[in-house]
Structure 1
Amino acid sequence: MSERDVRICVVGDELSAGMGDARGLGWVGRVVARTASEDPLFVTSLAVPDETSTALSGRWESECQRRFAPGSDNRLVVALGSADLTAGLSLARSRLNLANVLDSARSQQVEVFVVGPPPRPGVDGDALGALSDAYADVSTRRQVRYVETFAPLRTHDQWLADVAAGDGVHPGQAGYGLLAWLVLHNGWHDWLGLPHPS
């Protein structure tokens, strides 16, 4: 019997809390449901709507440390959004904010998994693509797993239709299912040291 105590904190904007999903699962709930682990996983979503990377970098540590424990397998999922663009942050500032989170987590032996920002209505696609590329570069340089969601979903008919069918801003069940699929098929099980489901 395993005694591995896995604690995962997910920090991000309202998409990490599944806003707009009639089932209330979002992509996080769907990913956890598809994660076959002999160990119980403690997963908590610490979402703040419309959060910038500056705000995220300023709060993640104090909020997550309350959920982490010495001797546990403490892990952090950073689910990035598009609020930096709305707030007028520079790419350099966004890069630095993510770098600070990753470096601070590493110094505390907290393994990190980064999920990039998906396309959003009313957000400039080229600018969001550049932001996603910047986040990917920061993660790659630090050998942290990065899930690209913008490029696969930018012209994805099901994603676009699902967002349009809801409130026009947030995806519904189909859209969150697509986000979950991208996470599950881009290193999630490897990151947790788990076998891939058959």
Structure 2
Amino acid sequence: MPSPDLRVCFFGDSLTAGVGDDAALGWVGRVVAAARRAGTDLTGYNLGVRRETSQDVQARWLAEARPRLHQGDGRGVVLAVGVNDTTVDGGQRRVPQSGTLRAVRLVADQAGEQGWPLLVVGPTLVRDDQQNRRILDLSEAIGTQCAAVHVPYVEIGTGLQDDEWLREVAARDGAHPSARGYERLSRVIGPVFLEWLGAVAEDARIA
């Protein structure tokens, strides 16, 4: 049986867009390539925008997803936000934790209304210790919320608390890794993504 025509939109910030990767793939390009190597007829749309918060993404995602997902046998959405929310700008956190959770929940609700499966990817770490504490707290809270509404979640932050990742982002702009770092992210995200995509494909076959 041929693979169904699958289409997935990836929404997020600069980490989703792959900023800093000289190979111009980021983790998104790598997991899409892995899916295609596995025989999946997948079209991936990278819709990451630099500096965007969860609220920015929530405000735009549905309008951008509709023209890309209105056809195809199977359709899904990946949401990866949080780092910019925890940034302090002008003495204030850009988005309070409650605001992030509300934005993620709205995306989940809207995706559910459209019948599009959702996968949420947690935020990565930066070179700032205080911000990393906020990131880890937020990541845990997002994971708890996703579990409550039965949305799969890929927790990343706790696995990046090592010298290798922190040295890499510090050597660049403090937030974005090189191609090597994006390859590492793809190895963490990829297995969960492929399992989730398999479920999307199976639902498309049944339909």
Output the TM-score relative to the length of structure 2. 0.86
Partner of 2:13: 13
Partner of 1:134: 141
Matches within 5 A, 1:36-51: 36-51=37-52
Decide whether the 8 Å contact of 2:8 with 2:44 is kept in 1: yes
For the residues of structure 1 that align with 2:46 and 2:147, how far apart are their CA atoms? Answer: 24
SS at match of 2:9: strand
Deviation, 1:167, is 3.0
Q: 1:3 to 1:173 in 2, by over 3 A?
A: closer
Determine what percentage of the aligned residue pairs are the same residue. Answer: 35
Quick one: which amino acid aligns to residue 192 of structure 1?
L
* Structure 2 unaligned blocks of 5 or more: 88-92, 200-207
Matches within 5 A, 1:91-106: 91-106=97-112
For the residues of structure 1 that align with 2:71 and 2:179, how far apart are their CA atoms? Answer: 36
Decide whether the 8 Å contact of 2:7 with 2:72 is kept in 1: no
| Number of residues of Structure 1 aligned to a counterpart in Structure 2 | 193
Deviation, 1:121, is 2.4
Deviation, 1:120, is 1.5
Deviation, 1:70, is 4.3
- Residue 65 of structure 1 pairs with residue 41 of structure 2: no
Match of 1:179 among 166, 173, 185: 185
For the residues of structure 2 that align with 1:191 and 1:3, how far apart are their CA atoms? Answer: 15
For the residues of structure 1 that align with 2:142 and 2:149, how far apart are their CA atoms? Answer: 11
Decide whether the 8 Å contact of 1:159 with 1:178 is kept in 2: no
Partner of 2:202: none
Residues 58-88 of structure 1: per-residue CA shift (max 9 Å, x gap): 1100001110124531100001131112243
RMSD: 1.8
- Residue 116 of structure 1 pairs with residue 122 of structure 2: yes
Matches within 5 A, 1:140-179: 140-153=147-160, 155-179=161-185
Match of 1:190 among 178, 182, 195: 195
Deviation, 1:3, is 5.4
* Structure 1 unaligned blocks of 5 or more: none
Output the TM-score relative to the length of structure 1. 0.90
Name the structure where helix makes up a greater proportion of residues.
Answer: 2
Runs of 4+ in 1 over 4 A off after TM superposition: none
Quick one: which amino acid aligns to residue 107 of structure 1?
E
Decide whether the 8 Å contact of 2:3 with 2:41 is kept in 1: no
For the residues of structure 1 that align with 2:26 and 2:3, how far apart are their CA atoms? Answer: 28
Deviation, 1:117, is 0.3
